[in-house]
Every structure is written in C-alpha cells, then in structure tokens.
Chains A and B, each alone.
Chain A
C-alpha cells in the first residue's frame, strides 16, 4: 500500500538554511549540505528545498564547513543531490521552462511553483506537458484576513484575489501534480496544523495534498492523517531542532498504526557488500 509521507522543508536564504516565523523573521540554522546529510540518515521520505533569498548572493562567507562555499543556488542543489538519495523538490525563483530544466538537470526530481502559478496558470500547463505533472508541485500560501482564507503571493507578501479553494482547482485543471498548502498564520508557531484549511483543499481536488505550517510536536502529524485526507505532511523548524527528528516523528506515527514507511536510521556507507 502507498504510504503517507513526512517531508522536511529546507529554506535557503543567501547560502544558509534558515528558520522562518510568519514568513518574516529568519534565523540561521547552518550549512545546506550538512543538514541534508542528516535528514537523509534519518530516512526522510522526500525533501523540499526552497530558495527564499532576496537576491542572488549565496556566499555563506565561510569556507570551513567541509563543503565548497557555493556561489549559486544550482550548485547547492547539485551538492545536495549527491547526498540525498530520495526525491528532491526544488522551489523559488522559477519563472521559465528553462529555469525548471536547469533545476532538474542538477538532480531535482520535482519543482515547486508559487508566484508564477498565480500570475499565469497556463505556465503550469506548459510545464506539466513538458516534464509530466508528477514533476510540478504548486505551493499555495494562505492567510486568514477578516475570517476568510486568502492566497498570498511573492513569499507571502502580496494578497491575491484567490481563495485557496479557487486556486487549487485552477492549478489542478492546469495539470499540477501535487499541492503544498501552507498556512502563513501557523508558520513557525508550532501549535498544530490548520486542519480546516487542509480539508477545504483535499475536498475540492483529487491530486495529492501536502500539508505544511504549524508542526510543533509529533502528534500534530498524526492529527493531520487522522482528520484530513492529506497524503503528506511537511515541516521545517521541528525537523531541524530535534536530533533524529524525522526518525522519531515517523516512529511516533508507525507505532500508532499510521500508514508510513518503517522508521529507520541509515548508517550511510555501511551497506556495500
């Protein structure tokens, strides 16, 4: 049977992995490649790698990390794909078909579109025809304004005319493969997912929905699988701060009878026979 997935989200801002709160406050967490190596060892099901840099400077200003100090995002992804033998979704600053091609060619399996999907839904169509819909993930950032859910674009900074339900339907009709639904209100709070929002989306589309925003303890993940039809849960902060986080989260779900992959700690390099 197909399993529900646990997906760490990695936010990359100008060469560093950062923690995010309400899409506005950022704290440095460390080197992009070292963190991926750890997440790989804890048997994450997938990784979502988002570039949220304001400009194109990826200099970590450190050369003592054991990895090259990369000058651009594509080289970072290239390094990451040598450490992570699992599906990688890459997002941020994708505007053209060529941008997608470049990301896939350095080892990404899927790309995540946000602003472009809102500005020009026909781009989703073009992209999914070119690369297959399995390759196109649309992230939708949502905020409650006067008790109504609204989609925000450009890194959560601009309110759009869409409700999350409307936009989800549009992206599905245009050939999106998955939807990553993210609650800006819940971002970095750690007090649980917005289950109402997740249910609204899973009720109106038939493509897989990944729930994001609000995970603060393992039981928040089980809550999503118990009370919604989301196929996957994604989180950033909680997976970075706890040692063996993904393993422990998965163990919690597995031990409680949820349909996830058996938890495992992978000792890299030890299974060459």
Chain B
C-alpha cells in the first residue's frame, strides 16, 4: 500500500478530534468518517474511544456500517487500531453498567480493575511492560509512559495476544494484538512523544 490514508471511525466519541489533530501533526492524510466509501478506501482504520462500553457499542452499532468494517479488517486484513474503549469493544463481552456484547475479534472479556488502595478510574501516566516483541515498539527506547483513563480492562483468553501490560495493583493488558488488529488501553494521542511513536509505527506496519 503506497499511499497512507487513515480513517478515524466516527461514532460520536469525544476524542475524535484529538486523534485527528495528532495524525495531522505527524503529516498524515486522515479523515474522520463512517462512510463505507472511506472504510474501503483507507489504508488504516482507527477506532477512538472515551466513555462506557455499552454506550460506545450502541453508538457504534447505530453509526458504523459494521459488515463493511468487518470485511475490511477480518477478510482484507487492513490494519486496525482500537484506542481505550475502542480496544475494549474488540472483546466478546463487557460488564460496565450492564452486560453487553463486543466485536468478538479478540477473544476475551472486559472487566473492572480490582484495587483496594488506589483510586478508580486509573487516571494518569503509567508505564508499559513489554511482553512480546512487535514492530509496533520500534524506536520506543526508554519512553514507556503513556496516559491512561480507565476503570475497566480487556482480559484476553490467549496470552499470545498480549503485547504489553501495565501495573495498577496488579497487571492489566495495555496493548493487545491479533494479526492486523491492535488495541491500546492508553491514549496515544495524549501521550506526547511515546504515543506518537506508536501511532507512527502502527501506520508503518504495512
């Protein structure tokens, strides 16, 4: 794929603009859209996220042509990145407020972080512990801190899918990946240099 064209999936999520700003800053051609045309035409797909699992799933179902998206990601193997709740919905099921089905692209469930001394949501800069080598980490060097805002996390059935975890009174998955599908629990668009490096690496996967 010669020309990079990134489609940021628009389903009314609050931080769409921040993701768009950072991609523009990095010099990429990106669009915020939910049309079949752009989902087919683009080279990379990003699903941003802020908010709860159930509310996000409902908005996604109402705005995004899911069959078209699934065809591009699962059949055509187009690189896909889910951010925060956008990563959590990749699982089979979520339990925030109510039980709700996810995409089921990466087998696992979304559960609440268990803490006794710390505050929830887990807000702030936390480092990632790399579990499995992947081109997504290229040039990351010692910059391991990312900005998180989450009370829930995606537990995956197969540990092979975990690229990195983070510690908040116990480890949770901060980066998961299965083939062309990636999920970041943190917000790369708010994580300065480290976040921009990972986004850049994602866009250069193919």
Contacts and interface: CB of A to CB of B under 8 A. Distances in A.
Interface of A: 1-3, 5, 40, 43, 45, 81-82, 85-87, 104-107, 109, 131-134, 177-178, 206-208, 231-232, 261-262, 264, 266, 271-273
Contacts, number: 98
9 contacts: A2-B124, A2-B168, A85-B195, A87-B187, A106-B17, A107-B18, A264-B193, A271-B139, A273-B201
Contacts of B25: 82, 85
Nearest to B52: A132
* Interface residues of A, dominant DSSP: loop
Interface string B19-36: 001101111000000000
B197 interface: yes
A133 B52 CA distance: 11
Contact of B196 (A134, A261, A271): A271
Contacts of A40: 192
A267 B14 CA distance: 28
Contact of B192 (A105, A133, A266, A272): A266
Contact of B119 (A5, A107, A208): A208
B204 A87 contact: no
B145 interface: yes
Contact of A3 (B139, B145, B195): B145
A109 B119 contact: no
B124 A5 contact: yes
B200 A2 contact: no
Given A2-B124, A271-B200, A86 B147 contact: yes
B119 A134 contact: no
Contacts of A261: 125, 145
A40 B127 CA distance: 19
A218 B124 CA distance: 21
A45 B125 contact: yes
A87 B121 CA distance: 15
Nearest to B122: A2
Contact of A134 (B123, B192, B204): B123
A133 B148 CA distance: 14
Interface string B173-198: 00000000000000101111101110
B130 interface: no
A2 B121 CA distance: 12
Nearest to B22: A85
Given A2-B126, A81-B21, A208-B123, 8 more contacts: A43-B192, A85-B18, A86-B190, A107-B21, A177-B121, A232-B124, A261-B145, A271-B197
B167 interface: yes
Contacts of B201: 273
Given A86-B147, A106-B17, A273 B139 contact: yes
Among A109, A207, A231, A262, the most chain B Cβ lie within 10 Å of the Cβ of A109
A109 B187 CA distance: 11
Contacts of A3: 124-127, 145
5 closest Cβ pairs, A-B complex: A3-B125, A134-B121, A2-B126, A261-B145, A134-B149
B51 interface: yes
Nearest to A268: B25
A135 to B, nearest CB: 8
B146 to A, nearest CB: 10
B190 to A, nearest CB: 5
A2 B125 CA distance: 6
Contacts of B134: none
B189 A107 contact: no
A87 B190 contact: yes
Contacts of B50: 132
Contacts of B192: 40, 43, 85-86, 264, 266
A210 to B, nearest CB: 11
Given A40-B192, A85-B195, A207 B119 contact: yes
Interface in B26-48: 26-27
Contacts of A104: 14
A146 B19 CA distance: 50
B13 to A, nearest CB: 11
